[in-house]
A and B are shown apart, each in its own frame.
Chain A
Amino acid sequence: MIGIKSIATFVPDGAIDNIAQGERFGESADFIRNKIGARRLARKGDDQDTSDLVRAAVVRLTEQEGLAAEDIDALIVVTQNPDESGLPHTAAVAHAKLGLGQDVAAFDVSLGCSGYVYGLSILKGLMDETGLRNGVLVTADPYSKVIDPGDRVTSLLFGDAASATWLCEDAVWDIGKPLLATDGTGGDHLMVANGLLKMNGRQVFNFAALRVPPQIQAALEREGLEPTDVDLYCIHQGSAAIVDAIARRFPVVKDRFVLDMDGTGNTVSSTVPLLLASRLNDPGLQRILISGFGVGLSWATSIISKRT
């Protein structure tokens, strides 16, 4: 069965001091630390495009995890901030930069913060259907390309990063069936207009706090699990306040909800794999719930389990 073998990440060296930025917007250091949850927002260089982040993450995967580039036969890129206007698709641009062979399926998936959970199932399903053996799911959605530096709501939140997840038969983690949901009527709460990101912070907060917990609960119930049966809850790092608002609905396991975005910010579809990358090898973990939610509005939850 196709599952997750390993994950590599790429966080650009550039960064914004978010405490200093907060001061410019009249926000205290406590607010940045406790509510936003990120004292540093990672930023790609001006000379780096989305495909460069993709390339960097995939190169890390090949160098660190032992996946030979010539063995890659599927490359999916989750992004809504592609190179140029998205034509050609960023997966194809990255395919060229990586020097991959022609027998490679490569395409983009247009999703935001729910994209990693969706992407795992899309790639797994593709590989199951076609017999492809080594698939790579990349998340790379640099919001710095669309952030209005004068907008307090979005400027304090988002960082740039990328991840590359290796899926194959000889895997360590099984991917559970996801619960997937959409509410397109809320699409204007988080959107790009005239080239700039606009967010209704209150509505996005409401959406996350009210819609995501029931989906997490449903995912647990579908697998016949109690909240305590899951070792770790790696949910999208929208902000510290959002993670806390969701975790509060699960008081018995509140401490198992990971908050770890201090050095990166909200990196959109990359937040969940960034959490997983440093934790998949923890021998104490057998079951991890992952959940992504955001632009769309779109939300998705699944449970990954270590093979015995």
Chain B
Amino acid sequence: MLSKAQLEELILGAGLVVELESPIPTDREFSDLGLDSLDVYNIFVEVEVQTSIEIPDSEIANLNTIDNLHAYLAAQDS
């Protein structure tokens, strides 16, 4: 199970072009942080590589903050 800190580290290593503030506000939507759709795709790829958890298309709209993504991964892991 990834901690929020590990999730933040994973996001910073996802090849993003924008510079994110550190620590990343975990409750702000990715779009408000300046991330575009391809940045978010990259984050989900990194999540799948690290956790082997596949995120279905139907969940993408809801997983729009680090908090939401962390909660989703925790639920899948439990």
Contacts and interface: CB of A to CB of B under 8 A. Distances in A.
Q: Interface on chain A toward B: helix, strand, loop, or mixed SS?
A: helix
A24 interface: no
Given A201-B37, A202-B60, A241 B42 contact: yes
Given A34-B17, A201-B37, A241-B38, A209 B57 contact: no
Contacts of B38: 35, 205, 239, 241
Contacts of A248: 15
Q: Interface on chain B toward A: helix, strand, loop, or mixed SS?
A: helix
A210 B57 CA distance: 16
Interface residues of B, number: 13
B45 interface: yes
Nearest to A202: B41
B36 A209 contact: no
A274 B42 CA distance: 26
Nearest to B13: A248
**Residue of A201, A202, A210, A239 ringed by the most chain B CB atoms within 10 A:** A202
Nearest to B36: A31
Interface residues of A, number: 17
Contact of B45 (A200, A201, A209, A239): A209
Contacts of A200: 57
A193 B73 CA distance: 35
A245 B45 contact: yes
Contacts of A244: 15
**Residue of B15, B41, B60 ringed by the most chain A CB atoms within 10 A:** B41
B36 A210 contact: no
Nearest to A206: B45
Interface in B22-72: 36-38, 41-42, 44-45, 48-49, 57, 60
Interface of B: 15, 17, 36-38, 41-42, 44-45, 48-49, 57, 60
| 4 cross-chain pairs, A with B, having the tightest CB-CB distances, nearest first | A241-B38, A209-B45, A205-B41, A35-B38
23 contacts: A30-B17, A34-B17, A35-B17, A35-B38, A200-B57, A201-B37, A202-B60, A205-B38, A205-B45, A206-B41, A206-B44, A206-B48, A209-B41, A209-B45, A210-B45, A210-B48, A210-B49, A239-B38, A241-B38, A241-B41, A244-B15, A245-B15, A245-B45
